[in-house]
Structure 1
Amino acid sequence: MKTEPLRCSMNIQWSEEDQAYIVTVPELSGCKTHEKTYIEAVKQGQDAIESWIEANKAWGRPIPAPRITMTAENAYHIRSTRG
């Protein structure tokens, strides 16, 4: 079941040790994932956010308000040399 997307930030960093992109979501405690390519990390991060929200709703836990709202005025593109 898809939930309404929560607009929150994802931190994506390359880990030499893990040889993967590590994704964390600051607004959602414990929400993290990883993937081998940057694009897959973004997709997996979005899936992790949806899963986190669904699980926390099922457990009756509050869902925090997003700290960042992306609009055309504050959106930007990121260039990656990996993946």
Structure 2
Amino acid sequence: MQYQVNLKKTEEGYAVWCPSLPGCASQGITKEEALDNIQDAIISYLEVAKELNTGIESCYVEVKLNHA
């Protein structure tokens, strides 16, 4: 599975986050380290989300936007 991640150069290295997973972020001194770290963060995020959603009913709703 692939997730889009955003990278930002900082004074300490790189900040990285996954826009589709709120709160899922990491960092690294190098770009490569940041990308490795966000992979671990995404895996952990998904494992916790699965645990939290066990036994919970979910469904999809359609939202129609009116462009006036």
Q: Percent identity among equivalent residues?
A: 33
Cα RMSD of the aligned pairs, angstroms, is: 1.6
> For residue 57 of structure 1, what is the amino acid of its counterpart?
K
Question: Which residue of the partner structure matches residue 79 of structure 1?
Answer: none
Moved over 6 A (4+): none
Question: Which residue of the partner structure matches residue 25 of structure 2?
Answer: 32
| Alignment coverage as a number of residue pairs | 55
- Measured against aligned partners, the alpha-carbon deviations of 1:16-70 in whole angstroms (never above 9, x if no partner) come to 2xx12001100000000111111111100111111100011111177xxxxxxxx
- Structure that is richer in helix per residue: 2
TM-score scaled by length of structure 2:
0.73
> For residue 11 of structure 1, what is the amino acid of its counterpart?
N
Aligned-partner Cα distance in 2 for 1:33–1:42: 9
Aligned-partner Cα distance in 1 for 2:7–2:40: 14
**Structure 2, gaps ≥5 residues long:** 59-68
